Amino acid sequence: MDRPPGTQPLQLLEPEVTRGLVARLRLTRLLGRFPERPVWALFMFINGFITIALLAGVAMLTRVPFVFPSLGPTAFLFFFTPLLPTASPRNCVIGHAIGIACGYGALLVTGLEHAPPAMMTGVDLHRVVAAALSLSATGALMILLKAAHPPAGATTLIISLGIVTKPLHLLTIELAVMLLAVQAIVINRLAGLDYPIWAKHT
């Protein structure tokens, strides 16, 4: 199958973080005794657990939504394909910020900023407009600002569907994204990857 210019086969991208961490932490015996894919899968399991558990712990203590569904795919991008542009801290932080702004903007346009979530009231015409407007605007702005980050599409729907709507909680969402980006920088650099502090120079 032909690949777009400059891309790598998936199997070459998969173990980069694990291989780097194993070398950095001098755990080469682990890869010598076990196949690389299960070791990498174990790393993903442990790092994913720690990542979400820490944010969930903060959410439990502060009673604000430090954990939300689109953090999952963001974490997956950070630690599965960390060298792709969509997994850079810049794209993550800006992408989610765009999603938050578009989601809340769609609520304001449709007058739903104080309405109960769609899960409670069902989906009416106003909610259809809010969801469609938020997602389309998020996609368009990410393209214009060169900040593509697919999980931000989930973030904007979380807001436009009324699941999270309080301005303070929206700021908390962006803070959680920033904390996750910091963890990605630490882990990926510990693995010896040329992972950007903000964005790759082109």
Tens digits of per-residue pLDDT, 13-26? 445 665 666 566 54
Question: Looking at residue 13, what is its pLDDT?
Answer: 46
CA distance 129 to 31: 52
Residue among 72, 81, 77, 73 at smallest CA distance from 11:
81
Does any domain span residue 81? yes
Does any domain span residue 6? no
Does any domain span residue 107? yes
Domain that holds residue 38: 12-190
Of all residues in the chain, what percent carry a pLDDT higher than 70? 83
Question: Is the per-residue pLDDT at 189 higher than 80?
Answer: yes
Highest mean pLDDT among 27-36, 37-46, 169-178: 169-178
Residue among 167, 169, 173 at smallest CA distance from 151:
173
**pLDDT band at 7, cuts 50/70/90?**
very low
Question: Is the per-residue pLDDT at 33 higher than 80?
Answer: no
Q: pLDDT tens, 57-78?
A: 988 888 877 889 999 999 999 9
CA distance 75 to 81: 10
What value does the mean pLDDT take over residues 179-202? 86
pTM assigned to the model: 0.83
Does any domain span residue 78? yes
CA distance 194 to 41: 21
Q: Which CA distances in Å does 131 have to 86, 134, 150, 186?
A: 23, 5, 16, 35
Question: Looking at residue 11, what is its pLDDT?
Answer: 44
| Number of structural domains in the chain | 1
What value does the mean pLDDT take over residues 148-164? 97
Contact call for residues 73 and 181 (beta carbons, < 8 A): no
Does any domain span residue 36? yes
Return the structure tokens found at 151: 């999980």
CA distance 113 to 82: 35
What value does the mean pLDDT take over residues 137-157? 98
Does any domain span residue 197? no
Does any domain span residue 111? yes
**pLDDT band at 103, cuts 50/70/90?**
very high
Question: Looking at residue 6, what is its pLDDT?
Answer: 46
Q: Which amino acid is located at 118 in the chain?
A: A
Does any domain span residue 3? no
Contact call for residues 165 and 130 (beta carbons, < 8 A): no
